[in-house]
Structure 1
Amino acid sequence: MRHSTKATSQDYPVEVAPYDTDSRYRRVHLKGVGWVPLEREEFEPRVHQEFPWLNLDDPRQVHWDDRPWEWPPWHPGEA
């Protein structure tokens, strides 16, 4: 699975790597934790576990490499 590890010009608490159609996950970098693969349903709870104060809609706090709030399609039973 490819993911971005490049540093951005701003130090974001949360960075979301590029959309990857070969996986149901998006790679998410949580400052102080590292990169973790998260499903759509896991994203908000996991981010708020680390950063309860964080506003997910604030582009100064959450950086999306592309396709904000999108996850590749996945259906139960798929590998």
Structure 2
Amino acid sequence: MDRNQSHDPLVEVAAMSSDSRYRLVRFRGHEWEPVDRQEFRAEATRLFPKIDLADPEQVEWQDHPWEWPTWRPGEA
């Protein structure tokens, strides 16, 4: 792929924030929204049934692929 060519993945995952249980995710055609690990998989496959979540052309992680903030029940 040409470096100057626009890359428009099906899913974009923003950089991880240490103060939340969520990561901001943008599914193509939708706005950015906070989702947790389970919501991520469910929503990605609901919106794009044939998505390959391991394909970096389809899912673009800004940092720490497949990592989610540490969160324990009861935390704000």
Q: TM-score normalised to the size of structure 1? A: 0.86
Match for residue 35 of structure 1? 32
Q: Partner of 1:42: helix, strand, or coil? A: helix
Q: Structure 1 segments of 4 or more deviating over 2 A? A: none
Match of 2:69 among 39, 61, 72: 72
Aligned length: 71
Which letter does structure 2 place at the counterpart of 1:67? Answer: H
Q: Which runs of 5+ in 1 are unaligned?
A: 1-8
Q: Percent sequence identity over matched residues?
A: 52
Q: Which has the higher contact order (CA 8 A, sep 6+)?
A: 2
Match for residue 62 of structure 1? 59
Q: CA RMSD in A?
A: 0.8
Which letter does structure 2 place at the counterpart of 1:52? Answer: P
Match of 1:52 among 49, 66, 70: 49
* 1:41 shift after superposition: 1.6
Match of 1:17 among 14, 18, 39: 14
Q: Partner of 2:29: helix, strand, or coil? A: coil
Which letter does structure 2 place at the counterpart of 1:48? Answer: T
Q: Distance between the aligned counterparts of 1:53 and 1:34, measured in 2?
A: 21
Bigger Rg, structure 1 or 2? 2
